[in-house]
Chains A and B, each alone.
Chain A
Amino acid sequence: MTDNRRLWSGPYIIWSAGFILLPLLMVIYYGMTNGDGSFTWDNLAAFADPIHYRAFINSVVIAFGSTLFCLLLAYPLALILGRRKGKNTDILIMIFIIPMWINFLLRILALQMILSNTGILNALLEFLGLAPVHLMYSRTAIMIGMVYDYLPFMILPIYNAIRKIDQDVIEAAGDLGADGLTILTRIILPLSVPGVISGIIMVFIPSISEFVVADILGGSKILLYGNVIDQEFNLSSNWNLGSGLSIVLMLFIFASMAIMNKTGSGEEDMVSW
């Protein structure tokens, strides 16, 4: 009897060819042609335009900063939660993930209320007799927005990685005379690297192409690379240039992912929720 189950993936194969690969080919087609459809490198070369590469550098700096802050905040938390014994740790980790289920724009709205010049933070500072701060429309505001948004994405994979560490290994190290710090630096840290890598990927990739946070918390003062692409498609209707810039972004993302996967132990399941 032939195994007809092989055919069951047929619909998805067609789907992925039509709606994953073909759309990317469209981006490449638009990115490598001009308005009347003849071949050109101009849209890719436009990356070297100061407006574009400065926006790109802005994005990289902010994404890097957000990722770093997420890591600094999340690692101790994941460590505390991951090493906790007891039944209700699962519920506790749930509580840290719930904010992820609130619509992303509502979370940004909440931050806007806190950070704006007439917002809660300044009301609080005034109440305490301190000088108000002008955070809105700054890089700091954008970074706060991204850290707030993506923090759970960093907590979860690191927590999972620490949770997976064999308790016996830690106990053995203790029996052999390692103190708490040695156990942390020689056992827990190295063994949690895959979790850290997936956390970094899951925060850095969305941050690098982010444009909504910048739109709302950064005003139009700070242009990120995502804003540039958005504007090319929705304001200037220059699809060719927008596609060219998208190709550069895509290449950057896949290149950085390849580098990070090399650094990590080459885990197959990177997205290990």
Chain B
Amino acid sequence: MVNIKKLSGRLYIVLILLILYAPLAILIICSFNNSKARNIWGGFTLHWYADLVHNQEVLEALRTSLLLTVSAALIAVVLGTLACVGMSVMGKKLRAVLINITNIPMLNADIVTGVAIMLLFAHFLTLGFGSMLIAHVTLGVPYVIINVMPRLRDASKGVYEAALDLGASQTYAFFKVVLPEIFPGIIAGFLFAFTVSMDDFVVTYFTKGPGINTISTMLYQQLRRGINPQMYALSTLFLISILLILGMVYRFSEINTSKREDN
């Protein structure tokens, strides 16, 4: 009886994994398929990869995406961390208002967030890299705040106050005492902001200027135009890099936990 339960549990896990990964596996297989048709195997090839690395449109989009995502995540981390420090010493009412405002981009439909920022820029300024960057920072800050806030709440107040008593300035005490304590939260916030920005299509689609494409908006145009097996190659490269990054993050967190356990 117990064994049947265990077995069906395992089977269910495998089933869901199959649903999630089968499409990705097919993408990878097709990236090596020497035929444009999806249901015919035309032999093994790497030429979609060769074409991809010479595709200016893809390279340009990749460059824009990386620049946009990294700068948006960095700005979001600075803004969000500063906001958390300020919020931790703020009056309750003001803090509640700020938290509610912060929740808006997370909970609102992306299409409304995108349209709203687009209207602001199209009305007063122009759409371009600037509007995309501001939109992506706005999407990212809430995730920084929800990751840093709990760390800051748990950080020991005593050490900070001791530092002040011993003559440290508030800024100095922050960098020397508080920052190291909340640093894991900041890293997590950065990763969240990075992911949200990298994966975003809708907000970028509305706030982008003419002629600028991120990977997402470039893919959208490609998908509407029809099949291009280079995109399968791109997916495969993405999947590999994601697995590498996750592996690294995992190792990093493992080292961190073992350090903590040592203490």
Q: B16: CB under 8 A from chain A? A: yes
A92 to B106, CA, bound (A): 27
Residues 191-217 of chain A, each 1 if its beta carbon lies under 8 Å from chain B, else 0: 000000000010001101101100110
Q: Which residues of A contact B123 (CB under 8 A)?
A: 26
Q: Which residues of B contact A184 (CB under 8 A)?
A: none
User: Which residue of A73, A92, A120, A208 is within 8 Å of B38 (Cβ)?
Assistant: A120
A253 to B110, CA, bound (A): 11
What are 10 A-B pairs at a CB distance below 8 A? A9-B83, A9-B90, A19-B134, A27-B119, A80-B12, A81-B13, A95-B17, A103-B198, A110-B27, A151-B20
Q: A243: CB under 8 A from chain B? A: yes
Of the candidate stretches A47-55, A111-119, A161-169, the one touching chain B is A111-119
B160 CB to closest chain A CB, in angstroms?
10
Q: B53: CB under 8 A from chain A? A: no
- Cβ-defined contact, B111 with A110, below 8 A: no
With A19-B134, A103-B199, A109-B232 known, 5 other A-B pairs at CB within 8 A are: A8-B85, A12-B79, A148-B19, A208-B109, A250-B108
Most B C-beta atoms less than 10 A away, residue of A22, A76, A105, A122: A105
Secondary structure call for the A interface: helix
- Cβ-defined contact, A108 with B223, below 8 A: yes
Q: Which residues of B contact A105 (CB under 8 A)?
A: 201, 216, 219-220, 223
Closest to A84 in B: B9
Q: How large is the interface on B (under 10, 10 to 19, 20 to 34, 35 or more residues)?
A: 35 or more
User: Which residue of A3, A101, A269 is within 8 Å of B195 (Cβ)?
Assistant: A101
Within 8 A of B (CB), among A67-100: 73, 76-77, 80-81, 91-92, 94-96, 98-100
Closest to B174 in A: A5
Q: Which residues of B contact A94 (CB under 8 A)?
A: 246, 250
- Cβ-defined contact, A3 with B23, below 8 A: no
Q: Which residues of B contact A151 (CB under 8 A)?
A: 16, 19-20
Q: A24: CB under 8 A from chain B? A: yes
- Cβ-defined contact, A4 with B170, below 8 A: yes
Q: B32: CB under 8 A from chain A? A: no
- Cβ-defined contact, A113 with B23, below 8 A: yes
B164 CB to closest chain A CB, in angstroms?
8
User: Which residue of B111, B134, B174, B235 is within 8 Å of A106 (Cβ)?
Assistant: B235
A270 CB to closest chain B CB, in angstroms?
8
A11 in contact with B82 given A3-B170, A27-B119, A77-B13 (CB within 8 Å): yes
A18 CB to closest chain B CB, in angstroms?
8
Within 8 A of A (CB), among B201-238: 201-202, 206, 215-216, 219-220, 223-224, 231-232, 234-235, 238
- Cβ-defined contact, B16 with A73, below 8 A: yes
Q: Which residues of B contact A262 (CB under 8 A)?
A: none
A209 to B111, CA, bound (A): 7
A103 to B89, CA, bound (A): 39
Q: B117: CB under 8 A from chain A? A: yes
Q: A137: CB under 8 A from chain B? A: no
- Cβ-defined contact, B20 with A3, below 8 A: no
User: Which residue of A16, A92, A103, A249 is within 8 Å of B112 (Cβ)?
Assistant: A249
Residues 1-31 of chain A, each 1 if its beta carbon lies under 8 Å from chain B, else 0: 1011111111111011001111110110010
User: Which residue of A24, A73, A205, A211 is within 8 Å of B116 (Cβ)?
Assistant: A24
A140 to B102, CA, bound (A): 35
Most B C-beta atoms less than 10 A away, residue of A92, A243, A246, A269: A246
A226 to B114, CA, bound (A): 12
A208 to B20, CA, bound (A): 22
Q: Which residues of B contact A206 (CB under 8 A)?
A: 109-110
Q: B21: CB under 8 A from chain A? A: yes
User: Which residue of A103, A113, A229, A246 is within 8 Å of B238 (Cβ)?
Assistant: A103
- Cβ-defined contact, B116 with A148, below 8 A: no
Q: B163: CB under 8 A from chain A? A: no
Q: B98: CB under 8 A from chain A? A: yes
Q: B256: CB under 8 A from chain A? A: no
